[in-house]
């Protein structure tokens, strides 16, 4: 159970800016092992080995995107730490929308999308040593002005950037806007539990009620995207069947 009711003051962000790194997630995980406190943020102008979900590479060329990782140490039970990735998704979507006026949607678990095309992603990684509390490293990558030709061929048609959506913004202002919303939603989660986040996540989800296919390690399940549950699982309703909950997989659309 979540230890709800925790009243927390604002997170003290300590931002370190690097030029080229292999992966900001790798750097923050290393610092977590060395007992770095909550609030450390490492951002980089480019990454040579940016990590994505499902073992993919996150293409991170210079002068194109925002790449950063945050260290949090949420005082919750270990099974609740995975919720941080959905909390970060809500914060990033809101931060970018507040700054640009462009509507930014979410696709489960935490793809950031504009007009149904991916413009950012989040990868959370976990580290027990250097705690307690254990560390959650929230890695965020945003395509700010990535030219379409820079995206890997297989993702090109489903990917966009904020610039392409008519919203040219600086990396620093995007980082500030996202951290501001993350501070809000993190404290809301600690004070009142996951439900308010879940409701907001569903309001931001851009394919709620739509037909999807969930691709898992051994299966592809079709159905309607009906929301998420209190543990962050995807809720899918197969045609004529009961709603099922999934904690992993990739959502594909027609």
Mapped onto helix, strand or coil, the DSSP state of residue 227 is strand
Shortest reach from residue 24's CB to ligand BTN, in Å: 4
Q: How many residues touch ligand BTN (CB under 6 A)?
A: 20
Under 8 Å between Cβ of 88 and 122: yes
Q: Does 121 bind ligand BTN (CB under 6 A)?
A: yes
Consecutive H or E run containing 172: helix 171-192
Shortest reach from residue 25's CB to ligand BTN, in Å: 4
Given its phi and psi angles, is residue 41 left (phi above 0), alpha (psi -120 to 50 degrees) or beta? beta
Q: Does 52 bind ligand BTN (CB under 6 A)?
A: yes
Shortest reach from residue 204's CB to ligand BTN, in Å: 16
Shortest reach from residue 120's CB to ligand BTN, in Å: 7
Which residues, in sequence order, are bridge partners of residue 124? 138
* Of positions 23, 80, 85, 159, contacts ligand BTN by CB under 6 A: 23
Q: Does 50 bind ligand BTN (CB under 6 A)?
A: yes
Joined together, the tokens standing for residue 190 give 């600690």
Q: Does 212 bind ligand BTN (CB under 6 A)?
A: no
Angle CA 151–156–160, to nearest 5: 80
Q: Tell me the C-alpha distance between 177 and 182, whole Å.
A: 9
Q: Binding to ligand BTN (CB under 6 A): which residues in 131-150?
A: 139-141
In terms of CB distance, is 68 or 186 closer to ligand BTN? 68
Q: Does 61 bind ligand BTN (CB under 6 A)?
A: no
Residues 6+ apart with CB under 8 A from 189: 74, 83, 87, 196, 197
In terms of CB distance, is 95 or 139 closer to ligand BTN? 139
Residues near ligand BTN (CB under 6 A) are 23-25, 47, 50-53, 56, 58, 67-69, 111, 121-123, 139-141
């Amino acid at each position: 159970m979540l230890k709800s009711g925790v009243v927390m003051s604002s997170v003290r962000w300590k931002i370190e800016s690097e030029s080229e790194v292999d992966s900001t997630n790798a750097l923050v995980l290393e610092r977590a092992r060395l007992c770095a406190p909550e609030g450390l943020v490492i951002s980089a102008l480019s990454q040579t080995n940016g990590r994505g979900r499902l073992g993919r590479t996150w293409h991170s060329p210079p002068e194109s995107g925002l790449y950063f990782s945050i260290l949090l140490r949420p005082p919750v039970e270990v099974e609740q730490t995975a919720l941080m990735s959905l909390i970060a998704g809500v914060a990033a979507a809101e931060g970018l929308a507040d700054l640009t006026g462009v509507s930014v949607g979410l696709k489960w678990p935490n793809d950031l999308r504009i007009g149904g095309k991916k413009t950012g992603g989040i990868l959370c990684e976990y580290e027990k040593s250097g705690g307690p509390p254990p560390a959650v490293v929230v890695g965020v990558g945003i395509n700010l002005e990535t030219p379409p030709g820079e995206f890997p061929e297989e993702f090109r048609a489903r990917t966009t950037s904020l610039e392409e959506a008519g919203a040219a913004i600086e990396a620093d202002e995007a980082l500030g806007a996202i951290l501001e919303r993350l501070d809000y939603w993190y404290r809301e989660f600690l004070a009142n539990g996951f439900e308010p986040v879940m409701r907001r996540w569903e309001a931001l989800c851009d394919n709620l009620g739509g037909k999807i296919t969930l691709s898992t390690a051994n299966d592809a399940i079709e159905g309607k995207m009906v929301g998420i549950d209190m543990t962050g699982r995807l809720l899918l309703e197969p045609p004529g069947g009961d709603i099922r909950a999934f904690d992993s997989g990739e959502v594909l659309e027609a």
